[in-house]
């Protein structure tokens, strides 16, 4: 790995850390001041950017992408830690007397947890619905069920590829507008727009668009990699957070935040500056690397602390939640994620030999 690639990786992990921090503090009792939903949107953007970047690199070398290897990597990246998390969650639910259903497990492992949560309800009265946190995994997997095949169709014609991606962004935006202003929020199930793939996949698409531009239109990317673009993006982001009208938040907010990240991301990740240096601090980078496990376990820990320490001062609860979440996430990353990712690499390399 070159020094430049290493530099990029560090900053991307740092951005993941920022994302999980927003989600964590929002769920831990500070949701009125910390935009947890923005953290998930950033996760989606990063995912689209990184995976497209890897696909484009493979395409440039081989003229194709390995579909089997693509899904194999995702399997070994996500599933082992998810299996352990679900096992821990169900064990603890059973111990405290919460009853769970088989359909919930199916929704998690067959990736329809987001729609299950919209149209049904996850179990967990004593420990608050620990499996509900998997909704965002479903959004990503739905996207990646389709995207590799779309990529193979259009990767060879970048301009047409970008037109298809922008068309997707507009289609999802217009669909949200129709649901909000045509159907009406009062007629929609709770979280219908926030967690559904058909209304949130554009957050991934914005990252895909930036990755394609970075690889195929370096002149435009250089214009984006400046303080003017970053400042414009920051202003758009602040505007998206400042407007509290519910119809706006469920329709235009996600598009504005996607545009804002599109403009801010290059300067944050690919330029040497104080913000970039912060994202590369060792603790920040490590927090980004354990962010997947931290995303899973923090919600379970919050439910346990609410059950056993309901009257404790919020700062004490925050310390307990933070310490337990970081410990479980470190163990999951060190002994589950890293172990099975290494195993996956070996098996996938053997299958190519």
| DSSP letters spanning 95-154 | HHT----HHHHHHHHTT-HHHHHHHS----TTTT-GGGGGHHHHHHHHHHHHHHHHHHHH
Structure tokens at 341: 């990712």
Q: Cα angle at 47 between 350 and 240, to 5 degrees?
A: 175
CA distances from 157 to 5, 152, 168, 213, 352 (A): 26, 10, 17, 12, 28
First to last CA, the chain: 22
CA distances from 205 to 82, 193, 314, 316, 351 (A): 24, 16, 38, 40, 31
What pLDDT was estimated at residue 4? 39
By three-state DSSP, how is residue 69 classified? helix
Question: How far is Cα 302 from Cα 311, in angstroms, rounded to an integer?
Answer: 14
Instruction: Tally the residues of the chain.
Output: 353
Structure tokens at 237: 């982001």
Taking a C-beta distance cutoff of 8 angstroms, is the pair 161, 250 a contact?
A: no
Going residue by residue through the chain, which has 353 residues, state the pLDDT in tens, using 9 for 90 and above. Answer: 333 344 447 999 999 999 999 999 999 999 999 999 999 999 999 999 999 999 999 999 999 999 999 999 999 999 999 999 999 999 999 999 999 999 999 999 999 999 999 999 999 999 999 999 999 999 999 999 999 999 999 999 999 999 999 999 999 999 999 999 999 999 999 999 999 999 999 999 999 999 999 999 999 999 999 999 999 999 999 999 999 999 999 999 999 999 999 999 999 999 999 999 999 999 999 999 999 999 999 999 999 999 999 999 999 999 999 999 999 999 999 999 999 999 999 998 876 65
Question: How far is Cα 329 from Cα 326, in angstroms, rounded to an integer?
Answer: 5
pTM of this structure: 0.95
What pLDDT was estimated at residue 211? 97
Taking a C-beta distance cutoff of 8 angstroms, is the pair 21, 296 a contact?
A: no
Residue with tokens 């002149």: 219
What pLDDT was estimated at residue 6? 40
At residue 66, φ and ψ (nearest 5 deg) are -85, 100
């Amino acid at each position: 790995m070159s020094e430049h690639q290493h530099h990029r990786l560090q900053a991307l992990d740092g951005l993941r850390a920022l994302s999980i921090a927003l989600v964590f503090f929002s769920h831990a009792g500070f949701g009125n001041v910390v935009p947890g939903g923005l953290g998930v949107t950033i996760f989606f953007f990063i995912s689209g950017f990184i995976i497209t970047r890897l696909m484009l690199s493979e395409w440039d070398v081989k003229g194709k992408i390995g579909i089997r290897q693509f899904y194999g990597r995702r399997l070994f990246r996500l599933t082992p830690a998810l299996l352990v998390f679900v096992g821990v969650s169900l064990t603890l639910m059973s111990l405290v007397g919460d009853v769970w259903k088989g359909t919930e497990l199916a929704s998690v492992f067959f990736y329809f947890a987001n729609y299950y949560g919209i149209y049904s309800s996850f179990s967990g009265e004593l420990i608050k619905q620990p499996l509900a946190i998997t909704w965002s995994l479903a959004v990503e997997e739905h996207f990646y069920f389709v995207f590799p095949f779309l990529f193979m169709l259009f990767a060879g014609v970048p301009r047409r590829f970008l037109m298809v991606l922008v068309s997707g962004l507009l289609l999802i935006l217009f669909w949200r507008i129709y649901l909000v202003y045509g159907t009406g929020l009062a007629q929609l199930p709770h979280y219908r727009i926030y967690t559904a793939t058909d209304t949130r996949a554009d957050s991934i698409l914005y990252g895909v668009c930036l990755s394609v531009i970075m690889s195929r239109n370096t002149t435009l990317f250089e214009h984006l990699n400046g303080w003017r673009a970053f400042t414009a993006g920051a202003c758009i982001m602040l505007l998206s957070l400042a407007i509290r009208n519910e119809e706006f938040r469920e329709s235009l907010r996600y598009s504005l935040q996607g545009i804002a990240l599109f403009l801010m991301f290059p300067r944050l990740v690919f330029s040497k500056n104080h913000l970039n240096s912060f994202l590369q601090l060792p603790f920040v980078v490590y927090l980004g690397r354990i962010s997947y496990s931290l995303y899973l376990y923090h919600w379970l820990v919050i439910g346990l602390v609410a059950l056993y320490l309901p009257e404790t001062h919020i700062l004490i609860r925050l310390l307990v939640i933070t310490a337990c979440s970081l410990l479980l996430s470190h163990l999951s990353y060190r002994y589950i994620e890293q172990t099975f990712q290494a195993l996956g690499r070996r098996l996938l390399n053997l299958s190519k030999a």
